[in-house]
Amino acid sequence: MALDLGGRSGFSMPLGGSLYPAPPHHFHGARQAWATYEADGDKVRSMLPPGVDPDSDPPICQLWVCDYPSTTFGPYLEAFVMVRVRVDGVRYWYQPVIFTNREPALAAGREIWGFAKKLADLQWREEAEQIIFTIERPLGKRIATFAMTRDRIAKADEVEGLPVLSLRYLPPSDPKRPPAAAELVRLDPTGALHESPGLGPLLWAGRASVTMDSPSEVDPWSRLAPLKILTGHVHTTDFSLPLGEVVKDYLAEGLFEASKPAG
């Protein structure tokens, strides 16, 4: 029997006043820019859970910065890093860190798929020929800066599409019990790029730069800092996020046990 959370609006807490509806969650006119780069292997591996390994040496990472003007959660900004990995022979983009500036998006991301979201001060602006995106947490503590030009229309095969993987971990609420969840969740978004008459899909390539030069022990994005920038891209798209698929259950594999009470 399903838990009744209050009828039609009762997919999530609180009872009778759900913070967000059931997936799929929809995004229209999303602007997303990203830099693909090489990073330090030891530092990247320190941000990955058991059984998740970079699929190359050096690891390939991407920093994504996003402006979402129309979504299920309202308008908001977001930024995240992804690492190209293998799990049981399957390739994914694994997402170890993500910032947003909207509460419903934070709660849904953490609770449904395990996205490690935190609130941060994010800004997307365009000056002269560049997209500029800044990430600060708290305000005044710069975590990362992204910049990119739109130099040319890109081809779709320049972009490597893989499923997105995240760690959904819910700590125990009772010391005699194991965590409520410890699982790797696969997400397969669906969507389509916006198109321009005569030009085709709105996918651009350009020169990108990423700096993460202000280390933070609270938000260790600097472990994922670039050693060499490979490419930069930006597109405008509509997409939807469905429920995910659990591809690895750490609890079922016996990797977590109930903690012993103190004393």
3-state secondary structure of 122: strand
CATH code at 23-162+195-236: 2.40.400.10
Which tens digits make up the pLDDT trace of 33-50? 999 999 999 999 999 999
Cα four-point dihedral sign 129, 131, 137, 143: negative
**In whole angstroms, what separates CA 246 from the centre of its chain?**
17
| Average pLDDT score over residue span 234-263 | 85
**In whole angstroms, what separates CA 253 from the centre of its chain?**
26
Cα four-point dihedral sign 132, 136, 141, 142: negative
CA pair distance 189, 184, nearest whole angstrom: 16
Of the candidates 108, 76, 263, 111, the residue with the CA atom closest to the CA atom of residue 181 = 111
User: What per-residue confidence (pLDDT) applies to 13?
Assistant: 86
Which tens digits make up the pLDDT trace of 195-243? 988 878 889 999 999 999 999 999 999 999 999 999 999 999 999 999 9
Give the residue with greater pLDDT, 76 vs 257: 76
**Residue 190 gets which letter from DSSP?**
E
3-state secondary structure of 105: helix
User: What per-residue confidence (pLDDT) applies to 263?
Assistant: 43
3-state secondary structure of 224: helix
The average confidence (pLDDT) of the chain is: 93
Which tens digits make up the pLDDT trace of 5-41? 555 557 888 888 889 999 999 999 999 999 999 999 9
Show me where the domains of the chain are located: 23-162+195-236
Which tens digits make up the pLDDT trace of 124-180? 999 989 999 999 999 999 999 999 999 999 998 899 889 999 999 999 999 999 999
Angle at 123 (CA atoms; ends 126, 79), nearest 5 degrees: 110
Name which of 65-69, 110-114, 122-126, 259-263 the model is least confident about.
259-263
User: What per-residue confidence (pLDDT) applies to 196?
Assistant: 85
Cα four-point dihedral sign 235, 237, 243, 247: negative
